């Protein structure tokens, strides 16, 4: 493409002139930037499809490999393994998505578009909020697709019914959203997508397995039980599971929500600080 | 009308032990172009970053459009446009959507934003590619889109950081025309470049940076006077012709220097028509040059001349 600009002199109007716009409100900034990120997802749905593959494979493998766990004495009576497993898969998928929020931010930094945003009269914090919100929407879509698969193909049908499942989904979203701020914070300091992926994997892989996600905690070896009991993920998964199975939740859901909000708040402080550093 | 739109006073920027800018001062009056000339690592981009509020100076003050770049950073950002060395566009979005996004962030309504985007896409000859994602654009198109993006808000001051580096000659010319049109419209421009030719064509005044310091500033003509301007190099067919050619050129008022390795004579000249004067002088004594070359001064010549001056001083 070697198109050139025409050389004829321009009238004064189009290029320069008195500026009439001096920055948008915070709400507009967040709305416009969130829409931007979501449009990228719509334009390139591979991101959604590929990020669905991993949880789908986990769902397929774990539901087959671990199904005999339902027959062990520690397993809750009268519960199908798929109904036990699915809430944990929801939480796990939301966590993987949270990691993607950080990766997406790093890609934006590389892409050059963040350099543009920095030169505009907008608050940099709104870029971060938009990132976390657009990833929340993306995660919600992912989780709904997962639920559809689980219900149609694997017979997921917990005793909590639609309301219980939606409550578990909402809780998974809150946990994922809170965690996305931790990853956004890490992203603004690391600024390297590969390292970011590795850090995320190293952090989440043991957390997921040293928890109640796939097997009852009482079935774990003693030392692992101790780890699982202090692992916040155990509590998040338990809360989501109890909601889906309409078991008594106790303070579990509230604790998970509060913990997520605290992580979000701390993450946001560090994310904004790290984000201010020059690219 | 000629109040300074960019004013840096003793700006110093250090990164740890490295001094990227050492007490740099520049002033750019409204509606003029300052060419910031220097090699990679001279501090050009750091100065642009300080002036565009991206980096706070370690010491010194800078004002853009009369606003302090540290204390009034937000307001400064609503008055400036920045086009960096790498196109700052969203690769996933179409060209139009990129411009709409920026207009919206600047406070335009959706309708105003679409109108402004269409206007700029048209003006920058990108209308045919308006709906394609920016990642499919060629280098020249990307630069134009990037420049269009920095013009969305009709800024008073534009910073162009090496706007033509890596562009083919056609795209470079197009970029120059855009800059000239901008200045014609009253915009103040700070342009960094490694090319003397570019600064010569576009800039009203030139500041030369080297290792974070201002080593020279003035108009292109003033700088060239220091550099020793252009040169004509005559390559001769045989060594035997050298003394005669030397005398002929000296007789025409030049100061040729003999390059023994190439059987060539090089002399500083003031205008390109001096090339013809040299040829005529040689012709009168019956010498035909094997090769003739007009040498334009380069940034290296500027540096060499400046180093020479400071060594002599």
CA atoms of B161 and B200, how far apart (whole Å): 16
Contacts of B151 in chain A (CB under 8 A): 15-16
Chain B residue with minimal CA distance to A35?
A: B101
Q: Determine which helix (DSSP H) or strand (DSSP E) holds A222, and give its type and residue range.
A: helix A222-230
- Cα within 13 Å of Cα(B144), Cβ side: 33
Q: Which of residues 165-184 of B touch A (CB under 8 A)?
A: 168, 170-171, 173-174, 177-178, 181-182, 184
The predicted structure's pLDDT at residue B81: 93
B60 and B136, same domain (yes or no): yes
Cross-chain residue pair B93–A36, CB shorter than 8 Å: yes
Angle in degrees, CA B249, B255, B258, rounded to 5: 85
Q: What letter would DSSP give residue B94?
A: B
Tell me if B12 is assigned to some domain.
yes
Cross-chain residue pair A120–B106, CB shorter than 8 Å: yes
Q: Where are the domains of chain A?
A: 27-276
pLDDT digits (tens, 9 = 90+) for B193-218: 988 888 888 999 999 998 899 988 98
The predicted structure's pLDDT at residue A14: 52
pLDDT digits (tens, 9 = 90+) for B28-70: 999 999 999 988 889 999 999 999 998 999 999 999 999 999 9
B52 and B135, same domain (yes or no): yes
CATH number at residue B202: 3.40.50.300
pLDDT digits (tens, 9 = 90+) for B101-145: 999 999 999 999 999 999 999 988 899 999 999 999 998 899 899
CA atoms of A127 and A31, how far apart (whole Å): 10
CA atoms of A32 and A26, how far apart (whole Å): 10
Would you place residue B255 in the very low, low, confident or very high pLDDT band (cuts 50, 70, 90)? confident
The predicted structure's pLDDT at residue A108: 85
- State yes or no: pLDDT of B219 exceeds 60: yes
A18 touches chain B (CB under 8 A): yes
Domain boundary, last residue among B220, B242, B265 = B220
Q: Take residue A176 and report the two structure tokens written for it.
A: 């994922």
B119 and B12, same domain (yes or no): yes
Host domain of residue B65: 4-220
The predicted structure's pLDDT at residue A234: 92
Q: Take residue A7 and report the two structure tokens written for it.
A: 């050389």
Q: How many distinct structural domains can be found in chain B?
A: 2
Name the more confident of B232 and A41.
B232
The predicted structure's pLDDT at residue B313: 45
Tell me if B194 is assigned to some domain.
yes
The predicted structure's pLDDT at residue B197: 83
CA atoms of B102 and A162, how far apart (whole Å): 42
- State yes or no: pLDDT of B154 exceeds 60: yes
Q: CA of A41 to nearest chain B CA: how many angstroms apart?
A: 9
Name the more confident of B295 and A145.
A145
Q: Give B71: exposed, middle or buried? Use CB within 10 Å, 0-12, 13-18, 19+.
A: exposed
Q: Which of residues 73-92 of B touch A (CB under 8 A)?
A: 74-75, 77-82, 84, 86-92
pLDDT digits (tens, 9 = 90+) for A66-116: 888 888 888 888 888 999 999 999 999 999 899 989 998 998 888 778 888
Q: Which of residues 279-308 of B touch A (CB under 8 A)?
A: none
Chain B residue with minimal CA distance to A276?
A: B54
A27 touches chain B (CB under 8 A): no
B213 and B238, same domain (yes or no): no
> Do β-strands B157-161 and B80-83 pair in parallel, antiparallel, or remain unpaired?
parallel
- State yes or no: pLDDT of B189 exceeds 90: yes
Considering chain B, what percentage of its residues have pLDDT values greater than 90? 50
CA atoms of B49 and A185, how far apart (whole Å): 24
B144 and B115, same domain (yes or no): yes
Domain boundary, last residue among B220, B243, B268 = B220
B283-287 long-range Cβ contacts below 8 angstroms, 24+ apart: B284/B248, B285/B244, B285/B245, B285/B247, B285/B248, B287/B236, B287/B241, B287/B244, B287/B245, B287/B248
Q: What is the 3-state secondary structure (H, E, C) of A32-83?
A: HHHHHHHHHHHHCCHHHHHHHHHHHHHHHHHHHHCHHHHHCCCCCCCCCHHH
Q: CA of A142 to nearest chain B CA: how many angstroms apart?
A: 21
Q: Give B86: exposed, middle or buried? Use CB within 10 Å, 0-12, 13-18, 19+.
A: middle
Q: What are the residues facing B216 on neighbouring strands?
A: B208
**Of A86, A100, A88, the residue nearest A149 (C-alpha):** A86
B161 and B187, same domain (yes or no): yes
Cross-chain residue pair B89–A6, CB shorter than 8 Å: no
A17 touches chain B (CB under 8 A): yes
**Of B6, B62, B14, the residue nearest B31 (C-alpha):** B6
Among B99, B106, B170, pick the best mutation site for testing chain A contact (most A Cβ within 10 A): B106
Q: Which of residues 105-124 of B touch A (CB under 8 A)?
A: 105-108, 119-120, 123-124
Tell me if B301 is assigned to some domain.
no
CATH number at residue B274: 3.30.70.100
Is residue A52 within 8 Å of residue A64, measured between CB atoms?
A: no
Q: CA of B17 to nearest chain A CA: how many angstroms apart?
A: 18
B280 and B132, same domain (yes or no): no
Q: Which ranges of chain A have pLDDT less than 50?
A: 1-13
The predicted structure's pLDDT at residue B231: 82
User: Average pLDDT of B77-94?
Assistant: 87
Q: Take residue B7 and report the two structure tokens written for it.
A: 């004013």
The model carries a pTM of 0.79
B127 and B158, same domain (yes or no): yes
């Amino acid at each position: 493409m070697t198109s050139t600009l025409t050389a004829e002199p321009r009238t004064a109007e189009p290029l320069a002139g008195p500026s009439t716009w001096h920055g948008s409100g915070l709400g507009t900034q967040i709305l416009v930037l969130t829409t931007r990120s979501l449009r990228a997802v719509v334009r390139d749905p591979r991101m959604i499809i590929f990020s669905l593959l991993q949880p789908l494979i986990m769902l397929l493998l774990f539901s087959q490999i671990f199904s005999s766990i339902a027959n062990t004495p520690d397993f809750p009576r009268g519960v199908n393994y798929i109904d036990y497993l699915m809430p944990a898969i929801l939480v796990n998928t939301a966590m993987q998505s949270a990691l993607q929020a950080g990766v997406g931010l790093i890609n934006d930094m590389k892409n050059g578009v963040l350099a543009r945003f920095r030169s505009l009269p907008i608050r940099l914090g709104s870029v971060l909020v938009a990132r976390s919100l657009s990833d929340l929407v993306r995660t919600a879509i992912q989780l709904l697709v997962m639920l559809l698969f689980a219900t149609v193909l694997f017979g997921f049908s917990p005793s909590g019914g639609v309301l219980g499942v939606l409550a578990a989904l909402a809780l998974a979203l809150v946990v994922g959203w809170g965690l996305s701020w931790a990853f956004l914070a890490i992203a603004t300091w690391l600024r390297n997508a590969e390292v970011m992926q590795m850090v995320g994997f190293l952090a989440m892989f043991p957390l997921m397995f040293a928890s109640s996600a796939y097997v009852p905690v009482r079935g774990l070896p003693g030392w692992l039980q101790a780890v699982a009991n202090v692992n916040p993920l155990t509590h998040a998964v338990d809360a989501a599971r109890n909601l889906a199975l309409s078991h008594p939740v106790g303070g579990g859901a509230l604790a998970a929500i509060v913990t997520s909000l605290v992580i979000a708040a701390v993450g946001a402080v560090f994310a904004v600080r790290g984000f201010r550093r020059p690219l | 009308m000629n109040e300074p739109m960019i004013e840096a006073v003793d700006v110093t920027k250090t990164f740890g032990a490295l001094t990227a800018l050492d007490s740099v001062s520049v002033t750019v009056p409204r509606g003029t172009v300052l060419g910031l000339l220097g090699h990679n690592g001279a501090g050009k981009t750091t100065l642009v970053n300080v002036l565009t509020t991206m980096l706070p100076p370690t010491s010194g003050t800078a004002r853009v459009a009369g606003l302090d770049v540290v204390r009034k950073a937000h307001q400064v950002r609503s008055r400036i446009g920045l086009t960096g060395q790498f196109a700052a566009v969203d690769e996933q979005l179409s060209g139009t959507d990129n411009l709409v996004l920026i207009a919206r962030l600047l406070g335009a309504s959706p309708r105003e934003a679409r109108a402004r985007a269409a206007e700029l896409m048209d003006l920058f000859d990108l209308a045919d590619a308006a709906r394609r994602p920016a990642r499919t654009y060629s280098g020249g198109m990307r630069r134009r889109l990037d420049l269009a993006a920095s013009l969305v808000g009709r800024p008073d001051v534009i910073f162009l950081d090496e706007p033509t580096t890596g562009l083919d000659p056609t795209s470079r010319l197009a970029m120059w025309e855009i800059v000239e049109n901008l200045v014609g419209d009253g915009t103040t421009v700070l342009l960094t470049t490694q090319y003397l030719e570019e600064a010569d064509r576009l800039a009203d005044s030139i500041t030369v940076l080297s290792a974070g310091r201002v080593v020279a500033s003035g108009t292109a003509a003033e700088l060239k006077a220091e550099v020793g301007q252009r040169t004509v190099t005559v390559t001769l067919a045989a060594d035997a012709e050298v003394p005669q050619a030397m005398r002929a050129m000296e007789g025409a008022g030049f100061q040729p220097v003999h390059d023994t390795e190439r059987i060539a004579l090089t002399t500083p000249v003031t205008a390109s028509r001096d090339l013809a004067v040299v040829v005529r002088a040689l012709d009168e004594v019956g010498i035909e040059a094997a090769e003739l070359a007009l040498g334009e001064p380069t940034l290296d010549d500027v540096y060499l001349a400046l180093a020479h001056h400071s060594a002599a001083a």
